[in-house]
Structure 1
Amino acid sequence: MLRLISGRVVTSLISLVGASLIAFVLLRLTPGDPARLFLGQFAGEEAVQALRAELGLNGSILSQYLIYMQRFLMGDWGFSYSTGQSVAGLLLARFPATVELGLFAFLFAFVAAVACALVAVYRRGPISDSGARAASFFAQGVPPFWFGLMMLLIFFEGFGWLPGPEGRLGLRIIPPPTVTGLLTVDSLLAGDWAAFRDAIRHLILPAITLGLMPFGFLYRLLRANLEGVTREPFITVARGRGLTRWAAYVRHALPNAFLPTLTAAGLLFGQLLAGSVLVERVFVWPGAGALVTDGVLKQDFSVVQAFILLSAFIYVITSLIVDILAAMLDPRIAQSQGGGR
């Protein structure tokens, strides 16, 4: 197990360095001068060159990258050229909204995939199976921003059942005191049930929109695993001991089919946090996505680079945790990697 963990840590560090280096180089190769953008088109050349030297933009790309990473690891994430504010302050203020949206989107995708896969395999009827399969294909093929707009047209404009693109809370709701930055958690800690209900209502449409594609992928993977597990002899043995077919599927087939899905689920959760940019735009969600899109348009390198590093860090750490959990649940994984010796 220790050998498995150490190997995963090394590969995780390599992945982080590679992701940060590629992002840094690609952003630096885009047209435009950050110093000129920050000072304006009427600034003198001497002022522009002085700012370039202060920001470390005159050296080679490799030297710029090393300077940036050194500052980043020391907690200096730079400042936003477009706002003049600290990048760390901007991202830390907005990242909880992105995390909360990603958590609820993942919860929707996981619960819906498990329920649909169980029903499809248990009933094995043409209607239930074809309906769930069609839903999974639709989920993986539809563009999230288009689906989000359709959801707003139907449930906000059409029926008026759910709130529209107005952020995380309604205008008449007073936000709870900030503890975690997650409104649902903070409202529960404060005992503010009105804020909790309103935060949940505002999360429904963007969470379903963001979790639609992961739902389609998890459903197809979990259904295929369930199909194989339900044919194993131990399911017949469980039925022979008096369990109903549904109980045998839920208690024995689902846990065994879930293990291969665990890795994919963990990686999808990491992708949700990094891939929420367009969904946040559609629903005017005050997360890090809107900040990053503005940074891309304005060539605000510090904001974009910090977000990419945070996303890569979350993705790699999630992958590492999932690998360790999978090895703990199935010792054969650790033995195959040499961790059992």
Structure 2
Amino acid sequence: MFRFVSEKAVSALLTLFGASIIAFVILRAVPTNPARLIAGPFATDDVIAKIEASMGLDKPLPQQYLDYVVNFFKGDWGFSYSAGQPVLDQIAARLPASAELALYAFLFAFIGAVLVTVLVAFSRSRLLDQILRGFAFAFVGVPPFWIALVFLMIFFERLGWFPGPVGRGTPPAEIITGFYTIDYLLEGNIGGFLNALHTLALPAFALALGPMGYLIRLLRANLLDTGNEPFVTVLHSKGVAPLGIQFGHILPNAFLPTLTAGGLILAQLLGGSVLVERIFSWPGVGSLVIDGILRQDYAVVQAFIMLSAIIYIAVNLLVDVLYGVVDPRVRRS
């Protein structure tokens, strides 16, 4: 087990090293001098040189990279010249909103995929199975931002069933956890809680459809494979009730790979909702990153790349280790 965990940890560190290289190169690859952006268009060369020295841009590239990595893990994620505050403070203020949106999208995707797939699989309906496969195939390849635009046009503009971009008529909750729904509940504001859920629904569903399609395909394949295992035939020969076989044996065995995939999907949602957040004016990290790109505030983009990589790598490592604990065959392979 120690060897298995060690191999996964080394792989995670190598991946993080690659992500840090990408984040580091971004600031150096853009044609615009970050020191000039901070100093302004009318700054003298002496002023720009002083800013470059304060940012460490006058040092050799290997030293710059080492300083960047060390400072990042010390909590110094750079300074946002457009906002006039540390990048870490900006991201910390917006991360709960992104996490809340990702969590609801994950719940919609995971619960929806499991319920629909199990019902269709155990109904033995060929028509329903074909419809399910078509749905899964259609939404896996559709970009979430396109779904978000369609949802906004239909359910907000045309039908008016859901509110549009945030900030239209709902008084803000007092910031306690940063999660809007939880903060409204802690205030005892049930109306605000329901409004927050209503506002979250469209962007969360837009993010959820792609992962839901993937989970449907994965769980369906696992159910079919598990249903053809020899132990199922043995259970039938022993007279075990079909429902007992399906829910007591087939589903638990088919469910484990879906759980591991679910963890990775949650990590993807945390870092992959940038455009959807922008479309719905959701005050998360995604909107902050787009503003950083448009304003050439690349310290924000750097920090986002590193944060997304750390979240995904950490979840991936945790899922691999837990999967190895539950299934010894994974450790031996």
Following superposition, the deviation at residue 297 of structure 1 comes to 2.4
Residue equivalent to 1:221: 218
Residue equivalent to 2:169: 171
Following superposition, the deviation at residue 8 of structure 1 comes to 1.9
After TM superposition, the structure 1 stretch with the greater mean CA deviation from structure 2, 219-228 or 289-298, is: 289-298
Q: Is the alpha carbon distance of 1:229 and 1:197 closer, same or farther for their aligned partners in structure 2, counting shifts above 3 Å?
A: same
Instruction: Write the deviation string for residues 241-282 of structure 1: whole angstroms up to 9, x where unpaired.
Output: 776534532332121112223332222211111111011111
Following superposition, the deviation at residue 2 of structure 1 comes to 2.6
Instruction: Return the letter of the residue paired with 2:302.
Output: Q
Instruction: Write the deviation string for residues 111-133 of structure 1: whole angstroms up to 9, x where unpaired.
Output: 12212221332223232112111
Instruction: Write the deviation string for residues 78-122 of structure 1: whole angstroms up to 9, x where unpaired.
Output: 210221111111000001111111111111111122122213322
Distance 1:180 1:290 in 2: 20
Following superposition, the deviation at residue 69 of structure 1 comes to 1.4
Distance 1:134 1:149 in 2: 22
Answer yes or no: is the 8 Å Cα contact 2:23–2:303 preserved in 1: no
After TM superposition, the structure 1 stretch with the greater mean CA deviation from structure 2, 247-256 or 105-114, is: 247-256
Residue equivalent to 2:65: 65
Distance 1:148 1:241 in 2: 51
Instruction: Indicate which of 245, 256, 268 corresponds to 1:271.
Output: 268
| RMSD between superposed Cα atoms in Å | 1.9
Following superposition, the deviation at residue 232 of structure 1 comes to 2.3
Distance 1:194 1:241 in 2: 55
Instruction: Indicate which of 282, 298, 301 corresponds to 1:301.
Output: 298
Distance 2:248 2:159 in 1: 40
Instruction: Write the deviation string for residues 131-160 of structure 1: whole angstroms up to 9, x where unpaired.
Output: 111111221122222211111122112222
Residue equivalent to 2:189: 192
Residue equivalent to 1:313: 310
What is the number of residues matched between the two proteins? 333
Residue equivalent to 2:136: 136
Structure 1 portions without partners, runs of 5+ = 337-341
Q: Does 1:85 align with 2:85?
A: yes
Following superposition, the deviation at residue 233 of structure 1 comes to 3.7
Distance 1:247 1:278 in 2: 45
Instruction: Return the letter of the residue paired with 2:213.
Output: G
TM-score, reference length from structure 1: 0.91
Q: How does 1:243-254 map to 2 (within 5 A)?
A: 244-254=241-251
Q: Does 1:10 align with 2:10?
A: yes
Structure 2 portions without partners, runs of 5+ = none
Distance 1:140 1:13 in 2: 30
Distance 2:155 2:34 in 1: 42
Distance 2:319 2:135 in 1: 27
Residue equivalent to 2:111: 111
Distance 1:196 1:51 in 2: 46
Distance 2:248 2:200 in 1: 31
Distance 1:196 1:246 in 2: 39
